[in-house]
Amino acid sequence: MRITPEGKEGIRLNTFIFTLIIAVVTATALRYDWAWWVIALVDGFLLWRIIFVVRFFRDPVRPLVQDESLAYAPADGKVVVIEEVDEPEVMGGRCIQLSVYMTFYNVHVNWAPVSGEVTYKNHYNGDFLLAWHPKSSSLNEHTTIGVRTDSGTTVMYRQISGWIARRIVAYPEVGDRVEQNQKVGFIKFGSRVDLFLPLGSEILVELDQKVVGSQTPLARLPKV
């Protein structure tokens, strides 16, 4: 099993803390018998933390699935929003919003829903509402990415922090080309990804449906 770069940082930090505390407690144990019980408790707690980091930051190997007529799930999770909205930042008006909510237990890697050129990127420092909250899309800390596909269609996705999530990682920069279902970022802990599609897109999923990032087609894009 692979680990994301963000997870490797956490594993190194936890391992350093583990080694430091064990060294201190072991030195104390040479003088006091009760300290051996402390060693056992510290060992158990730090081992749990390392296992937790490894599990949370897992980076699964998945088949590369590509179809330029489709927009794929940018994240693992459950579909919590399918509605027509106004989105002036990138889409310039009415469009379809489709949101995938990630629980604490989901893989938190994010994938590009379409191929194309990154035409817009903006990070907004906002609140930390629960990620399923309707207003979290605009009020929470988030990173917005706009992509123009080879056919000329504009698609936008937004990585949104949650109540616990406090760090959003977005790899692409304006001018970069992203390929459909390549890894484009990571969000720590419970969070969500909103996908904004042009009107006329054929939605292929339903509310509360569980989807797999980079594997589940969410919509068929309209022909330009």
What is the set of active-site residues?
A: 191
215 touches 73 (CB < 8 A): yes
Give the C-alpha separation, 52 to 47, whole Å. 9
- Measured in whole angstroms, the distance separating CA 79 from the mean position of its chain's CA atoms is 14
Q: Name the 3-class secondary structure at 219.
A: strand
Q: Which amino acid is at 57?
A: F
CB neighbour list of residue 222: distance below 8 Å, 6 or more residues apart:
153, 198, 199, 200, 201, 202
Q: How many CA atoms lie within 13 A of 119 on its CB side?
A: 16
Q: Which helix (H) or strand (E) holds 127?
A: none
Give the C-alpha separation, 28 to 115, whole Å. 58
Q: Which helix (H) or strand (E) holds 100?
A: strand 93-102
